[in-house]
Amino acid sequence: MSEESREWSEAEETGSGTAAMAQDVDFADMEPGIHEDEEPHGMEFLLDIPLDITVELGRTRMPIGDLLKLSQGSVVELNKLINQPLDIFVNQKLMAQGEVVVVNEKFGVRLSHIISPGERVKSLT
């Protein structure tokens, strides 16, 4: 049995209860979000928050049976045409559209359209 458990047991047996065990605790006065050694700041702290960015070439639906028949070299037809812009999602929300580019032998995306807040609200309905 731990020391604390033993003290609680003794307090219960002697009838002194939890009142004998209680101690006053002093808490420092605090203002939310402001530390003594720190000045209040704007939204700069948000600049280091990582976000997931996903570029979607297209989508398709297929039955599990067809999915299981896929093998190396299989071609999956997507719902987008070659000249349509790619969708760019930030944390699973559509934020922009763009086109594929190659930079230093790596794929990239050139933004061609940023989704306005009004358009994002319309897409929710």
**What's the whole-model pTM score?**
0.58
Burial of 122 (0-12, 13-18, 19+ CB in 10 A): exposed
For 59-106, how does the pLDDT look when each residue is reduced to its tens digit (9 = 90+)?
Answer: 999 999 999 999 999 999 999 998 899 999 999 999 999 999 999 999
Burial of 88 (0-12, 13-18, 19+ CB in 10 A): buried
Q: Is the dihedral of CA 94, 111, 116, 51 positive or negative?
A: positive
For 52-65, how does the pLDDT look when each residue is reduced to its tens digit (9 = 90+)?
Answer: 999 999 999 999 99
Going across the sheet that includes 86-90, the strands are 53-56, 86-90, 93-103, 106-114
DSSP letter for 36, please.
T
Domains in the chain, please, with CATH?
3-124 (2.30.330.10)
